[in-house]
Structure 1
Amino acid sequence: MLKVAEAIGTNVEFVKCEAGAEWWEKNGGTSLVPDETWSILDEADACYKGPTTTPGGAGSPRSVAVSIRQKYNLYANVRPVKTFPNTNPPLG
């Protein structure tokens, strides 16, 4: 996604942030999202969340995606679908 945004010449500023199991295993805590990342997200107009790993097992925190959705009340998780004529529709 970053390569595409760069290739089309967008002037959007991307700020890479830490989050996920690798960060949590090094730093610990109750969340896979560090406070610094939450601060950046609080000030941002939008967020692109790439793939992150969620550790399994008792006592491990919620996934990054769930944490973000819950904090910002983003429960819809809408994924647009477009169908094309003369094809088998996915919801048909």
Structure 2
Amino acid sequence: MSIRFAAPRHSIRNRMDDAEARAACQRPANDNGGGHSSDTALTAALRHFADHGLAAARHARLKAKAARHAGDEQGYRWWLEICRTLDRRMAQELDSQANAG
């Protein structure tokens, strides 16, 4: 038995007009808004990712926590920015925990 997938036959339109298409193409599809990293932070984050792979954000978070614990606020902010570049949600959680405590 074969299965056929087809669009529904009701009044939902399947295409955007030109103005909607131009507006939708203004930003990349994977851009979820928010702050953008500097070129320096992006380069450092990519190098960090090359060294640590998929664990790079977690490693940056640990480095940020260690810097904060040592009283190195500049180091904390640097590693937080690298973490934010790699995983925005993880960095937001880390920063909110640091500001709460």
- Per the normalisation by structure 2, the TM-score is 0.30
Greater C-alpha radius of gyration: 2
Higher helix share: 2
TM-score normalised by the chain length of structure 1: 0.32
